[in-house]
Amino acid sequence: MANLSLFSRMRSAVLPPATTVNEAGGLAYRRDPRAALALFAGTGCLNSTFYSDATSQLEQVLALSEQVEPGFVARVAVYARQKAHMKDMPVLLLALLSLRDLDAFSRAFPKVVDNGRQLRTFVQIMRSGQVGRRSLGSLPKRLVRQWVQQASAETLVRAAIGQQPSLADVIRMVHPKPADAGREALYAWIVGRPYEAAKLPALLQAYEAFKQAPVGTPPDLPFQYFSTLSLDVAQWSALARNASWQQLRMNLNTFARHGVFGDEAMVQAVAAKLRDPAQIRRARVLPYQLMTAYYAASELPLPILEALQDAMEVATASVPVLQGRVVVAVDVSGSMQSPVTGYRKGATTAARCVDVAALIAACVLRGQPQAQVLPFDTEVRPIRVNPRDSVMTLARQLAINGGGTAVSSPLKYLNAKRAQVDLLVLVSDNESWRDTCGGNGTATMREWETLKQRCPQARLVCIDLQPYTSSQTVQREDVLHIGGFSDAVFDLLGQVASGSDDGAGWVQRIQDLAL
């Protein structure tokens, strides 16, 4: 009889061999360029990550975009903005398109440049020289000009906050043609030229008058317009009352420093606004942003903290209930302790990758209390949680600090227990290195094949939180890769779990987007 150690029926013998080494030095599979570009667009913030710096990330995006067709680049840009709610990355892809395919560029432009910040970022990237030119070019210039001309007066006033470039710089650059005397006065006010005050929009007239005599209720403008003025508590309270939902969330501590929450009525008014379901949905807040606000608001009145927890429940209410035997594996290794949007001097988020991974697990657990949650680093670290706790509480309990990374460890744990699994959700940055070994394929893929022999119906969903070009698993019919940390992740997860998934991968879904 032949040597059983060589010729026994082992599925690992037919595994695809590992094709690269990841940033941590472990065996991995190189992603297809389209999949890699989609992952960078869905998770990359052009900041330094645990294993990479911002410059390297930019270079990889430039290289990947050259390897795929312009139509796909355009669809990735639209997906990243409209579904993943990213900011800088979709604009970068749009700028690259302006040099490759003007038709795809013009179709994607209005879907990516949907507010003043996006417009200013687009101009900044185009003029930086990083995409191959230092000027806008005729078509981009025309589209920027049209955006300015078609934007409402209120939109332009709000877009005038921010520098490098400022909206004034943009207007000087593209020379929008004013439609009437009122628009002419508005452009002049923005760029700092003489204007006819009586022709300004009523809101700006009120603002200019308030600057001369800052008494009474401030005009309904973003509070940044009043940062150089000495306002009293009542005036700061009026600004808080008029702030947009996102402005309120982002500046709770600012309002607290100015005494706004010394009034119980204001506390209740702000709490009511924060938990308003309609405003939460309209703000397109990401769950991790609510978590960041909650962690930063520890010194605020209890009703504010409770309102943020209620807002989290609203923001994650669309998470589908996952049926069957569900396991969520949460990577808590050292690299997952890094900021989910990367390091940026003066603007690094407090939300870590592990916080977002734990948040995803907590959301699943809320809808499926019987789901098994397995935190892991080099091995599984079992933890007992109460599924009736709030999403915020569950996420904090699950976000433990770990060490090295072995992405295969939760699968190995399940195989050792001969557990029955219908759906395994693996949330990680995929930088596995402690389970590196020779042979065919990665240890993660080998353990998955072992699990599939026991549970042939099982499906694996890998949610990637960081922009790297490799993975521990191969995309195929029973293995779905998703990148990002928006509610689009939950939508795809729900389709897989319900069986309504048509077998198309994440990349194919992006390819099918209509421009």
Domain boundaries, the chain: 318-511
The Cα angle at residue 293 between residues 311 and 271, in degrees rounded to 5: 45
> Is residue 387 a contact partner of residue 342, using CB atoms and an 8 Å limit?
no
Kindly give the residue spans of alpha helices, DSSP state H, lying in 101-137: 102-112, 116-127
Separation between Cα atoms, residue 410 and residue 487, nearest integer Å:
25
Short-list 213, 161, 151, 140, CA closest to 183: 151
pLDDT at 84: 87
Q: How far is CA 331 from CA 98, 315, 374, 429, 430, in A?
A: 39, 23, 9, 8, 9
Q: How far is CA 39 from CA 90, 201, 378, in A?
A: 12, 43, 25
pLDDT at 166: 94
* CB within 8 Å of 167: residues ≥ 6 apart: 116, 119, 120, 156, 159, 160, 190
Separation between Cα atoms, residue 9 and residue 236, nearest integer Å:
72
User: What 3-state DSSP class applies to 225?
Assistant: helix
pLDDT, tens digit, 9 for 90 and up, residues 153-178:
999 999 998 888 999 999 999 999 99
In the sheet with 27-30, reading across from the earlier edge strand, the strands are 20-21, 27-30, 470-471
Short-list 503, 458, 512, 406, CA closest to 22: 406
* CB within 8 Å of 347: residues ≥ 6 apart: none
pLDDT at 419: 96
User: What 3-state DSSP class applies to 260?
Assistant: helix
Q: How far is CA 255 from CA 177, 222, 262, in A?
A: 39, 13, 10
> Is residue 32 a contact partner of residue 507, using CB atoms and an 8 Å limit?
yes
The CATH superfamily of 318-511 is von Willebrand factor, type A domain (3.40.50.410)
Strand-pair partners of 471: 29
> Is residue 304 a contact partner of residue 313, using CB atoms and an 8 Å limit?
no
> Is residue 493 a contact partner of residue 461, using CB atoms and an 8 Å limit?
yes
| Torsions phi, psi for 94 (to 5 deg) | -65, -45
* Single-letter residue type at 74: A
> Which tokens hold the place of 111?
């879907």
Separation between Cα atoms, residue 109 and residue 51, nearest integer Å:
32
Separation between Cα atoms, residue 59 and residue 56, nearest integer Å:
5
pLDDT at 10: 46
pLDDT, tens digit, 9 for 90 and up, residues 17-54:
888 988 888 989 999 999 999 998 888 887 777 777 88
H or E segment and range at residue 479: strand 479-483
Separation between Cα atoms, residue 93 and residue 96, nearest integer Å:
5
Separation between Cα atoms, residue 268 and residue 172, nearest integer Å:
44
Q: How far is CA 304 from CA 254, 271, 287, 298, 427, in A?
A: 14, 5, 17, 9, 30
Q: What is the 3-state secondary structure (H, E, C) of 423-456?
A: EEEEEECCCCCCCCCCCCCCHHHHHHHHHHHHCC
Q: In whole angstroms, how large is the CA radius of gyration of the chain?
A: 25
pLDDT at 3: 52
H or E segment and range at residue 349: none
pLDDT at 96: 96
> Which tokens hold the place of 222?
């973003």
Short-list 318, 363, 244, CA closest to 491: 318
The dihedral sign for the CA sequence 225, 231, 233, 234: negative
Separation between Cα atoms, residue 195 and residue 188, nearest integer Å:
6
pLDDT at 61: 92
* Single-letter residue type at 364: V
Spell out the per-residue pLDDT of the chain, length 515, in tens: 455 444 444 444 478 888 898 888 898 999 999 999 999 888 888 777 777 788 888 899 999 999 999 999 999 999 999 988 889 999 999 999 999 999 999 999 999 999 999 999 999 999 999 988 888 989 999 999 999 999 999 999 999 988 889 999 999 999 999 999 999 999 999 999 999 999 999 999 999 999 999 999 999 888 889 888 899 999 999 999 999 999 999 999 999 999 999 999 999 999 999 999 999 988 888 888 888 888 888 789 999 999 999 998 888 876 778 888 999 999 999 999 888 888 877 777 777 888 888 888 988 888 888 999 999 999 999 988 888 888 888 888 888 888 899 999 999 999 999 999 999 999 999 889 998 876 678 999 999 999 999 999 999 999 998 988 899 999 888 999 988 877 778 777 777 776 655 556 788 889 988 88
